[in-house]
Amino acid sequence: MSRAAILRAAERIFAEKGLAGARTEAIARRAGVNKALLYYYFRSKDALYLAVIEEHLKEFETQALEILKASGSARARLLSYVSMHFDFVSAHRFFPILLQRTMLTGGPALNRLRRRWAWPVMRRLVELIEQGVREGELRAVDGGHTLMSLISLTVHYFAAAPLIRVVGGFDPYDEKRLAERKSAVLDLVRFGLFRHPEERVE
């Protein structure tokens, strides 16, 4: 219970302050634990930061690979993956901010995350896209570029949520806005990638 509370508190503070700006005292206070307990579970602030991100990535990988390894048409699995990705990020509001901070700073942590968590899912997704192209379900697109486009379709909306609130004048996490955005993303995937977007997907 204490470990989970520390991770939840650290997630919010790291998202707000970044790794450099976050203070272990503030994390311990928000988690309602003694500061020494942070170092009992996590050797350092850097290790805690990495643990927060990996907690999300582990959950995401489980859900993603279940879809990508399943049987069925490439179109159906691609839509299921994009739908799951959108729902996952919308339910983990600090995750895109933390990931964005990590990508901007780089270093050993980013390399570890890429090797252990990102690459297995990305490889499977590229393979799925290439399978869809070979079997005539998808247009003749490049797997790598399509992968990056699919990630951006979902992640950018949530990473840019603070800007959307100011410029757009609405809450991007409002249920109605989320439903509209998800529908628009799935439509763009269908009409941008599918050879026959009007056909029913099973």
Q: In the chain, what are the domains?
A: 1-42 (1.10.10.60), 53-193 (1.10.357.10)
Residue 185 is predicted with a pLDDT of 97
Q: Which amino acid is at 51?
A: A
Residue 107 is predicted with a pLDDT of 62
Give the DSSP H or E segment for 65: helix 45-68
Residue 110 is predicted with a pLDDT of 67
Tokens at 137, concatenated? 């379900």
Residue 1 is predicted with a pLDDT of 66
The candidate with the shortest Cα–Cα distance to 14, out of 99, 98, 120, 116, is: 98
The candidate with the shortest Cα–Cα distance to 143, out of 125, 155, 156, is: 125
Chain position carrying tokens 């942070």:
38
Residue 103 is predicted with a pLDDT of 75
CA distance 130 to 70: 16
The candidate with the shortest Cα–Cα distance to 128, out of 117, 116, 112, 144, is: 144
Please, which residues bridge with residue 194 across strands?
A: 138
Residue 129 is predicted with a pLDDT of 97
Instruction: Say if residues 7 and 51 touch (Cβ distance below 8 Å).
Output: yes
Tokens at 140, concatenated? 């003749």
Q: What is the DSSP letter of 173?
A: T
Q: Which amino acid is at 61?
A: E
Residue 21 is predicted with a pLDDT of 86
Q: How many CB atoms lie within 10 A of CB 10?
A: 27
pLDDT < 70 stretches in the chain: 1, 106-110, 202
7-41 residue pLDDT tens = 999 999 998 888 888 899 999 999 999 888 888 89
CA distance 130 to 134: 6
* CA 39, 53, 8, 27 torsion-angle sign: positive
- Report the b/e string of 139-175 with b at 16+ CB within 10 A: eebebeebbeebeebbbebbbebeebeeeeeeebeee
* CA 89, 94, 98, 103 torsion-angle sign: positive
